Structure 1
Amino acid sequence: MSADQKHFSPPARLLHWLMAPLVVAMLFIGVGMVATLSSWHQTLLAIHKPLGIAILGLVSVRFIVRLTHRTPPLPNDMPRWQQHIAHLSHWVFYALLFAMPLVGWSMLSAGGFPIHLFGPVNLPPIVPQDVQLYALLRSAHTVLALLLFATFLAHLGAALFHGLIRRDGVFSSMAKGRD
């Protein structure tokens, strides 16, 4: 296997490590928004909206990079069912990272809430204002957040398993560049 095939491309690694702390922050901010009705709620909400749109933009770029750059193969001694789950979990991650901000944007649009990003920049509504749709999308946003959190934990667990126990190069394929 060539050196290029042992590691993810530099753009893929950059986007991965840029997005990872943003997604973790977003999950904690989301929990904080739900858990508190204090003055922090508005501050967290003001961070949550632009961060969600930033993640949407980054995952769009990352998806293009994923489609245009080869990924390193998983170890041959890894059971096929684990390889299939690994591939499936990555596509689930992409779907959730696209869906979460779009559902959040739609939810706020349906609720008639302004989507202020920064300065004079606001997003237009993408669905009509509708209280029932808002309630449905709010529930969907919560369920998707829980799925994203579970997927993140599984991904982190698998990364640690490959990096600390198997030491098979899977973790280093994303953690560092060519040897």
Structure 2
Amino acid sequence: MMRPVERFPLFARILHWLMAAMILTMLFVGIAMVATVEPAYHRLVDLHRPLGICILLLAVVRLVNRWLIRVPPLPDTLPPALRVAARLSHVVLYALMIGLPLVGWGMLSAGAYPVAMWPGFALPPILPHDPALFAMLRHLHTWLALALFGVVLIHLAAALLHGLLLRDGVLPSMTGGRTG
């Protein structure tokens, strides 16, 4: 008999869904930035920078919360390979949610561009001005964003697998629905 999967705490669920919306917004804003010209480009950049920093801060909060609060165990029926894949995908997601904004911040610092959070307030640079470093970090930022997009798609596919095919309670544990 399969034991019911517990629910994630409300705070963890709120952080999860808030960040899911922010990350999807950020990915699509990033795509739009690449395909857009003046003046819409600057409006998108003005959204992209503070949203990235908010994602970074919330990812750190999520990581601390995950260390402090026990998460529901995966179902006993989940094969070992899927258990490893689930754990690895979460490590990659956290690494990208923290690494991608830091690379973006470093890229802007190396390019001598301010990370304006709102009018009159910009974050300090975290790297020295260096055009070659800016170019390398810009390339890395693009590839990390593509990797994040791929991992988000895999995460969504896994959620649908749990919710529609396996029906093992994993999806409702994050949506707040019935897990039993």
State the TM bucket, normalised to the shorter chain.
over 0.9
Supply the AA of the counterpart residue of 2:116.
H
RMSD: 1.6
Paired residues in the alignment total 178
Residue 38 of structure 1 and its aligned partner are, at CA, apart by: 3.3
The runs of 4+ residues in structure 1 deviating greater than 2 Å are: none
Classify the secondary structure of the residue corresponding to 1:117. Answer: strand
Q: Which range moves more in the overlay, 29-38 or 167-176?
A: 29-38
CA distance in 2, matches of 1:160, 1:65: 25
| Paired residues of 1:105 and 1:125 also in contact (CA < 8 A) | yes
Supply the AA of the counterpart residue of 2:148.
L
Supply the AA of the counterpart residue of 1:46.
D
Supply the AA of the counterpart residue of 1:102.
L
| Paired residues of 2:15 and 2:62 also in contact (CA < 8 A) | yes
CA distance in 1, matches of 2:137, 2:25: 22
| Paired residues of 1:10 and 1:177 also in contact (CA < 8 A) | no
TM-score scaled by length of structure 2: 0.94
> In structure 2, what is the equivalent of residue 97 of structure 1?
97
The gaps in structure 1 that reach 5 residues or longer are none
CA distance in 2, matches of 1:55, 1:92: 15
State the percentage of identical aligned residues: 50
> In structure 1, what is the equivalent of residue 69 of structure 2?
69
1:5-154 to 2 correspondences below 5 Å: 6-154=6-154
Classify the secondary structure of the residue corresponding to 2:77. Answer: coil
| Paired residues of 1:159 and 1:171 also in contact (CA < 8 A) | yes
The gaps in structure 2 that reach 5 residues or longer are none
